[in-house]
Amino acid sequence: MSLDNIIAQAVSRAVKELYGVDTAPESIVPQATRKEFEGNMTVVVFPWVKAARKSPEQVGQEIGNWLVDNEPAVNRFNVVKGFLNIVIEPTYWNTVLRHIADTADYGTVKATEESPLVMVEYSSPNTNKPLHLGHVRNNLLGFSLSEILKACGNRVVKTNIVNDRGIHICKSMLAWQKWGNGATPESAGKKGDHLIGDFYVLFDKHYKAELAELTAGGMSQEEAEKASPLMQEARAMLRRWEAKDPEVRKLWETMNSWVYAGFDETYRRMGVDFDKIYYESDTYLEGKEKVLEGLEKGIMYRKDDGSVWADLTDAGLDHKLLLRSDGTSVYMTQDIGTAKLRFQDYPIDKMVYVVGNEQNYHFQVLSLLLDRLGFRWGKDLVHFSYGMVELPEGKMKSREGTVVDADDLMDEMVGTAREVSRELGKLDGLSADEAEAIAETVGLGALKYFLLKVDPRKNMTFNPKESIDFNGNTGPFIQYTYARIRSVLRKAAEQGFAISEYATVVPNDKEIALIQRLADFPSVVSEAGRSYSPALIANYVYDLVKEYNQFYHDCSILREEDAAVRSLRLTLSDVTSRVIRTGMGLLGINVPERM
């Protein structure tokens, strides 16, 4: 049992005995005592003041006295207004450390067959371009959130919906037909997703030239867009695709296969994966069917032009288009179809959509519609809404080819990590293969950590140079500390030092501070899952690493002559490295054993 739980249960017993109040231990959440006050843990006593009919100070005093008399973990206490600051018995910290050291997968909870089934959707790429920096944040957030929800005891299904149909796909296809000269990824020497992205940019270039010519001839911008021969051809191709024209479908399948091969390579390097992938080309017809079913039940209505709508004004929203007058679907319809297929495939208890904050309204509407259409998880779906990521130069635009491709970004990060690591001597004595593996681990770790340490709800600017720094709140700083700890433990093993004989040691203040930080890990994981925030894990690991480095600076380990004290410090080092590895693993970040 964690120290938090021990104190919470003791306080629960105290208020029952003192005031006759039943308080669930899980509702009592001890916090770390603020540094300006004496104590390790603080409990707020205001909830029991009314029942006790005493001042907050008196209630704190009485509960504190009860704890000292009845709970062996409590040494002494002080009360500041309504805050009971508890000092833990110094020798008891050994028990806490032993509990952490002996607990496999410390900080995480294993799922059972009865655990809630949570589906997390992330990535959602289009098959007309490679993944870019925005997708990187989405993928990393989605993967990390999935791992955190697993660590909180949920069963998790990681899923992706690929936007593989529509006018944007036809633009790339048409450009390849016109100007591709039969190019393939092999003949062009390019990944398939990059090759197709080039044709998307090429279409836009020719389309803009067409518009310029038409507007120069006297047309308005709107008239030019309608008259553009290129856009008319793209729309005609889309109609042929929807009519299942064999020639168009064959080209579509070929070009998409090139893109999927490219995506798979990017996902593999990024370290993210999926349990199930859905395709918009399969789901949009399912969505139409579900909407028409809703129409029959009176959940939707049809306008005179034949279009189908949902009236959401009773929920404070507006009227939402679901099928156009020509019978074609919109994104909302496709999301309904995807939901239908997912619910057929899995008995989902909760659905989490990892999608940028520009889609907040879309998911308000989707939640209402799914609920009205009978999906029991619809009302409580979670839109994990995250902010946009930009570069120091500003926003990126796919059509203009000004995006930062995920592959190029990862190459740049690994290259910078290689260069910085070499300059700082981190690669000295390593073979070429080992040095390259370290550069890959550090470069991708820097990228992931920089993107995940920020509150996901906030917009952010990604600065590659700032992210690769072996000092400060960065991935490489944490990775280097981990490697340093592992080095200490290897040397201890070589010298035959034991790491488990410390029962008689009274830990000093630095050791206690580190043990307490380690003891916080389970509650941080739980809160990260509750609030959907990988940033809590990232910043916890950084604080743990800072605490360890202070301990490492002030406390001799291998040169400590007292075997019991040395054993305590080696155990602290071992447990800290395990928690760092677990915490970084929840972020999808690898940590190197040597560096």
Let me know whether 472 and 582 are in one domain: yes
User: What residue spans of 32-74 are helical by DSSP H?
Assistant: 49-52, 56-70
The answer to the question of residue 153 being in a domain is no
Establish if 188 belongs to a structural domain: yes
| Digitized pLDDT (tens) for each residue of the chain, 595 residues in all | 678 889 999 999 999 999 999 999 999 999 989 989 999 999 999 999 999 999 999 999 999 999 999 999 999 999 999 999 999 999 899 989 999 999 999 999 999 999 999 999 999 999 999 998 889 999 999 999 999 999 999 999 999 999 999 899 999 999 999 999 999 999 999 999 999 999 999 999 999 999 999 999 999 999 999 899 999 999 999 999 989 999 999 999 999 999 999 999 999 999 999 999 999 999 988 999 999 999 999 999 999 999 999 999 999 999 999 998 888 888 899 999 999 999 999 999 999 999 999 999 999 999 999 999 999 889 999 999 999 887 776 544 444 445 788 998 999 999 989 988 888 888 888 889 999 999 999 999 999 999 999 999 999 888 877 888 888 899 999 999 999 999 999 999 999 997 777 778 899 999 999 999 999 999 999 999 999 999 999 999 999 999 999 999 999 999 999 999 999 999 999 999 999 999 999 999 999 998 8
Specify whether 246 is located in the same domain as 289: no
> Are 522 and 421 in a shared domain?
yes
- The verdict on 533 and 411 lying in the same domain is yes
Give me the CATH number covering residue 290.
3.40.50.620
Residues pairing with 158 in the sheet: 120
Q: Are residues 173 and 294 in the same domain?
A: no
| 437 and 582 together in one domain | yes
Query: Six-digit token pair at 332?
Result: 């909302």
| The two structure tokens encoding residue 159 | 């899923």
In contact, 501 and 564? CB cutoff 8 Å: yes
Q: Please enumerate in sequence order all residues whose Cβ is within 8 A of that of 407, keeping only pairs 6 or more positions apart, or say none.
A: 130, 131, 191, 194, 265, 266, 269
State whether 512 and 413 are in the same domain: yes
User: What residues make up the domain containing 364?
Assistant: 277-404
For residues 516 and 6, give the distance between their C-alpha atoms in angstroms, rounded to a whole number.
14
CA-closest candidate to residue 520, choices 512, 532, 531:
512
The total number of structural domains that make up the chain? 4
Which of these, 15, 1, 77, lies nearest to 51 by C-alpha position? 15
